[in-house]
Amino acid sequence: MGNYKKNIITAAILVAALAAVFLLFNAVSGGKFLELENLTVVISHIIYPAFTAWGLSFLFACGYTDMSVGGVVVLAAFASNVFGNRYGYPGVVVAGVAVGTLLIFVNFNIFAYTKIPSWIASISLAMIYEAFGFYLKTNNATKSLVTTALSRDYRQLGQLPWSAVLLVVGFAAAYIVYNRTTVGLNIRAIGGNKEVSRAMGVNVNRTLTWVGLISGLFIGAAAVVQISYSGLMTVKTGLTSMSIIFQPLAIVLLAQIMKKRVNIIIAVPICSLIIYSIFNLLTILHVPSGTLQEACLGAFLILFGIIGQRGSKGVVK
């Protein structure tokens, strides 16, 4: 009962803090921030980063880093686009989720069965995925397939209210897996100490493959939402695909700061709302995108990383 009351109090404090922040944003923006049309834009834009952040949460929970996630999103979005135009909604969903799951699963098998540090291996994989995406974009046989926008007839999953429904379903799935399953417990145990977990009977390699499957499902779903919202995914080269995960990364780092008070799965959509609201306000105030907004995002990443690692000893992965 004590924990229940504590959670209720924490939730009430968060709601009150968010309300105060939004009122401040509204005042700064001259009343534009809380306009219904603008709030709809804010909510629409938090779906993709929330799914990506949930995927990253499972990765980070077991102590691994995957910098190829942006490249995976691009290829999964391509698959959703191509098969969606051909087979409708089944093609949009199945192709995107399947490609996202397969590639992240491959990544984690590489992490699990080699001694290459995950951040090094994932940067190499990011270059491979970017090169394959560029090939699809420039090859005469596939160019028209990936450069043709997803038909508007099959883009409802990126629009309200259906994107919000996906968010609720994703939240329920992430919360149950992370907090109520043996796999979720093993994932967190590995993140705490891999060798101790192995000594206590946790099959580390098997658990890591499960992480690949679970995280891949969320990354694939994020790609489905993204292509359904934008209609077309552009090719990324020169490791620019990594920029796709900067906002989700900021969300996860902020959620990790909050997780002592709020379960990280619950914190992710809250932090998504906070982060995107900040950038929405910057846009309303005519702060240039591509320069100052990205500088602000970089500053947030550094700040959240510093706060999140307070008390950590030794080398932080």
- The more confident residue out of 6 and 280 is 280
Helices (H) and strands (E) in the chain, counts: 14, 0
Look at residue 187 in the predicted model and tell me its pLDDT: 84
pLDDT tens-digit readout, 158-189? 888 898 999 999 999 999 999 889 888 888 88
Which region among 110-114, 225-229, 297-301 has the lowest average model confidence (pLDDT)? 297-301
Output the CA–CA distances (angstroms, integers) from residue 263 to 139, 236, 271, 277, 313, in the order listed.
46, 34, 12, 21, 23
Distance CA 2, CA 34 (A): 36
Look at residue 244 in the predicted model and tell me its pLDDT: 85
From 42, 69, 126, 96, select the one nearest 225 (Cα to Cα).
96
Average pLDDT, the chain: 85
Q: pTM value?
A: 0.87
pLDDT at 1 over 60: no
Look at residue 91 in the predicted model and tell me its pLDDT: 94
Distance CA 84, CA 94 (A): 9
Query: Position 272: which residue type?
Result: S
Can you tell me the mean pLDDT for 269-278?
88
Please report where in the chains the tokens 């996860």 appear, as a residue: 252
Apex 190 CA angle, 186 and 192, nearest 5: 115
pLDDT band at 147 (very low <50, low <70, confident <90, very high): confident
Task: Specify whether the CB–CB gap between 216 and 102 falls below 8 A.
Answer: yes
